[in-house]
Amino acid sequence: MRLLRLSLAPRIPPDGRNPSEKRKSSSGEGTIMVDLWKVKGLELFPLLEEAHWDFRISRALQVANALGLFTTLAERSLSARELSAELGTDEGYTERLLIVLCALGLLEKVEGGYRNTLLAETFLVRGAPLYQGDAIAHAANVWDFWHRLEAVVRTGRREASLAELPPPPPQAAHECFIRAMHNLSITGPAQMVAQTVDLSSARRLLDVGGGPGTYSIAFCQRYPHLECVVFDLPQTLEIAREVVAQFGLSHRIHLQPGDWNRDEFGEDFDAVLLSNVLHGPGSHASMKLTKAHRALKPGGWLLAHDFLLNAQKTGPLQAALFNLMVGAYSEPELRAELEAAGFVEVRLMAYGRRGNALMVGRKP
């Protein structure tokens, strides 16, 4: 299996078909309405993405302001440990917040710690002529209204509480999460992963924690000879079954129920994909990588796709925000995890627009 660094622009799959053509699947499951390789309007998505995700930036700034972080760093630098001691905060999460603030251009990392940039010194240090901290604090004070907005709109009462909203149906949160992963993956990440590596000689790919199966769909649409296995919990695979059927690929994408904490992944695979399941040191990456190594044929490739911080841990922004909420490795840290699990020829293949990256390694 060859691995190539390719353009990140959508390309016509190698089978030569017209990507926009509606066609019947060979399994008779109905018309495939979407080809992930030529989705019209994809270039508009960043506008919507910013609208529904930028609250994270606002909240990180509000919390840093409330802690007095920028004023504490005025005209000096401190390490995460020193700063957390002065602020009375948790060192680990303080460091995660500092990484976000670096990615926002409000702090810079220097030898021995962090310091304000000119932007922060000008607007965020209490007592500065152009200080904006009170305005940011006011925005935090009205945050509760925006949090309760659905209840306000439903009832017409400004003071309505979240308790007045209708309760969600059972399993609603889990299904929403899995379908959200599909929503986000079809807008670029799945295509980026599937076109960055060359699987023209592969026959079987294992998609560990594959959720709705979106990455397997992208691979199968690109490589008509490929079969994929999505490994995930039974309740997740019920959703994947629907999604895969909508794309007419149930005959090539197989569903394997299992729990990665307890079960082996299988064997004799040409490639194993671990997409968005290696979320930093708390994600049990060593265990997952070891099982993936056992599932591969000799010479098979591991594809590790996740949010990835740069080596300096100062960005990119989307990876820094995800690290604050869940966790993320830096590039050297993830490379070390792959090598410790026995993979060779480990290298970074591509960085995506959203702070996601693809790193690969080969089983000897």
Average of per-residue pLDDT across 127-133: 98
How high is the pLDDT of residue 25?
Answer: 38
pLDDT in tens, 72-88: 999 999 999 999 999 99
Question: 278 and 132: one domain?
Answer: no
User: Lowest mean pLDDT: which of 77-81, 172-176, 291-295, 318-322?
Assistant: 172-176
- Domain-located, residue 317: yes
pTM of the shown model: 0.88
Which member of 52, 138, 147, 279 is catalytic? 279
If you ran DSSP here, which 8-state letter would residue 282 be given?
G
Q: Which residue has the tokens 């920028």?
A: 70
Q: How far apart are CA 211 and CA 238, in angstroms?
A: 10
Q: In 10 A of CB 30, how many CB atoms? A: 12
Q: What amino acid occupies position 83?
A: L
User: In the predicted model, what is the mean pLDDT of the chain?
Assistant: 91
User: What CATH number does residue 202 fall under?
Assistant: 3.40.50.150
Q: In 10 A of CB 190, how many CB atoms? A: 24
Question: 123 and 197: one domain?
Answer: no
Is residue 21 over pLDDT 60? no
- Domain-located, residue 3: no
Environment class of residue 118 by beta-carbon count within 10 Å: exposed (0-12), middle (13-18) or buried (19+)?
exposed
Average of per-residue pLDDT across 145-150: 96
Question: 193 and 318: one domain?
Answer: yes
End-of-domain residue from the set 141, 173, 208: 141
Question: 219 and 300: one domain?
Answer: yes
292, 263 contact by CB (below 8 A)? no
Question: 268 and 327: one domain?
Answer: yes
How high is the pLDDT of residue 171?
Answer: 78
End-of-domain residue from the set 107, 141, 175: 141
Question: 263 and 196: one domain?
Answer: yes
Question: 126 and 203: one domain?
Answer: no
b/e sequence 236-252, b meaning 16+ C-beta within 10 Å: bbebbbebbbbbbbbeb
Question: 255 and 199: one domain?
Answer: yes
- Domain-located, residue 108: yes
How high is the pLDDT of residue 32?
Answer: 53
Q: How far apart are CA 118 and CA 125, in angstroms?
A: 10
In degrees, rounded to 5, the angle at the alpha carbon of residue 242 between the alpha carbons of residues 239 and 247 is 130
pLDDT in tens, 316-356: 999 999 999 999 999 999 999 999 999 999 999 999 988 99
Average of per-residue pLDDT across 89-109: 98
Q: Which domain holds residue 249?
A: 23-39+186-362
> With pLDDT > 70 as the criterion, what percentage of the chain qualifies?
91
* Per-residue pLDDT band at 23 (split at 50, 70, 90): very low
How high is the pLDDT of residue 22?
Answer: 44
- Domain-located, residue 150: no
Is residue 239 over pLDDT 60? yes
Is residue 145 over pLDDT 70? yes
Question: Is 174 a residue of the active site?
Answer: no
User: Lowest mean pLDDT: which of 43-47, 180-184, 189-193, 286-290?
Assistant: 43-47
Question: 226 and 311: one domain?
Answer: yes
Is residue 15 over pLDDT 60? no
Question: 130 and 214: one domain?
Answer: no
How high is the pLDDT of residue 20?
Answer: 37
End-of-domain residue from the set 77, 111, 141: 141
Question: 206 and 114: one domain?
Answer: no
User: What CATH number does residue 126 fall under?
Assistant: 1.10.10.10
- Domain-located, residue 358: yes
> With pLDDT > 90 as the criterion, what percentage of the chain qualifies?
83
